[in-house]
């Protein structure tokens, strides 16, 4: 199951992107997601592709990791491409297949939209490949800090987020273990009639839920025994520090944005 996840894929390395502050990386990804919609012709898309490749270069992550992360969504990119290819009916006909006609505009749209999709996924996976989940949570907590003023439970959410991330592998293993135990007793999970499979869910869920309740209670006791009292006045072991590289990267993206505005048609 674990191979389906992006989170387990943090690749430790000593690169510029790894050393950046998680806050600046989060801001960069957010801005990129907004900026990408500025692109509307070949020049602007070329700029975005170059930017993404430069960032991938900075990360020093071997290409096979990057491509490996893209595999699960590749079919969706391809699907998007064909959808726009066949369903757009504008511009001149460039290929007549009898049943389907491929229009110029369809080809353009297909390439642009699937490319946009591809770049978005590449940039977000660069974030998760170079930043540990804990760093992302810390960064988010600090960035969303101002929302505390409107009673938004930022600290609580950040705490739950780190607990959730920490326990994804544990609970997955637990599920796997229970499923194996029940399979050994003759329960079938992946085949059989619907009624049988519904019945199979119950002996999986009850032990899973009960053990989670127990684990939650133990964790709460352990935290309170160590003096956890919510976010007020809590100090951090990991300190975030904003460096020149972070400012530089933000300026770089702004320059790219300026180029996009100039070249967009």
Residue 154 interacts with other proteins (CB under 8 A): yes or no: no
The binding track of 180-219 with respect to other proteins, each residue x by CB under 8 A or -, is ---------xx---x--xx--xx--xx-xxx-xx-xxx-x
Q: How many residues does the chain have?
A: 265
Task: For residue 165, state whether it binds other proteins (rule: CB under 8 A).
Answer: yes
The answer to whether 68 contacts other proteins (rule: CB under 8 A) is no
3-class SS string, 163-225: HHHHHHHHHHHHHHHHHHHHHHCCCCCCCCCHHHHHHHHHHHHHHHHHHHHHHHHHHHHHHHH
The yes or no reply on residue 175 touching other proteins (CB under 8 A) is: yes
Cβ atoms within 10 A of the Cβ of 218, count?
10
Which of 57, 68, 72, 91 is close enough to bind other proteins by CB under 8 A? 72
Which residues between 3 and 22 bind other proteins (CB under 8 A)?
Answer: 4-7
**Residue 141 CA from chain centroid, whole number:** 17
Least separation in angstroms between residue 158's CB and other proteins is 11
List residues binding other proteins (CB under 8 A). Answer: 1, 4-7, 33-34, 37, 69, 72-73, 76, 83, 87, 117, 120-121, 125, 128, 133, 151, 153, 156-157, 159-161, 163-165, 167-168, 171-172, 175, 189-190, 194, 197-198, 201-202, 205-206, 208-210, 212-213, 215-217, 219-221, 223-224, 228-230
């Amino acid at each position: 199951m674990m191979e389906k996840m992006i989170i387990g894929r943090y690749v430790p390395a000593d690169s510029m992107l790894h050393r950046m502050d998680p806050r600046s990386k989060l801001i960069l990804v957010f801005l990129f997601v907004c900026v990408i919609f500025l692109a509307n012709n070949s020049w602007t898309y070329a700029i975005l592709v170059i930017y993404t490749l430069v960032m991938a270069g900075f990360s020093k992550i071997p290409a096979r990791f990057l491509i490996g992360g893209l595999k699960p969504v590749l079919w969706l990119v391809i699907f998007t491409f064909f959808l726009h290819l066949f369903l757009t009916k504008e511009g001149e006909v460039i290929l007549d297949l009898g049943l389907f006609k491929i229009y110029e505009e369809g080809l353009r749209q297909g390439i642009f939209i699937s490319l946009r999709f591809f770049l978005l996924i590449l940039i977000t996976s660069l974030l998760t490949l170079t930043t540990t989940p804990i760093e992302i949570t810390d960064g988010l907590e600090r960035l969303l800090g101002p929302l505390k003023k409107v009673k938004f439970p930022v600290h609580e959410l950040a705490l739950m987020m780190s607990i959730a991330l920490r326990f994804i592998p544990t609970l997955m293993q637990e599920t796997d273990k229970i499923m194996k135990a029940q399979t050994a007793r003759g329960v079938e999970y992946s085949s059989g009639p619907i009624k049988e499979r519904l019945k199979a869910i119950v002996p999986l869920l009850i032990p899973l839920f009960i053990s989670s309740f127990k684990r939650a209670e133990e964790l709460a006791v352990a935290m309170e025994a160590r003096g956890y009292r919510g976010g007020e006045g809590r100090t951090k072991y990991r300190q975030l520090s904003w460096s020149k590289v972070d400012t530089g990267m933000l300026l770089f993206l702004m320059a790219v944005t300026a180029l996009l505005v100039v070249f967009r048609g």
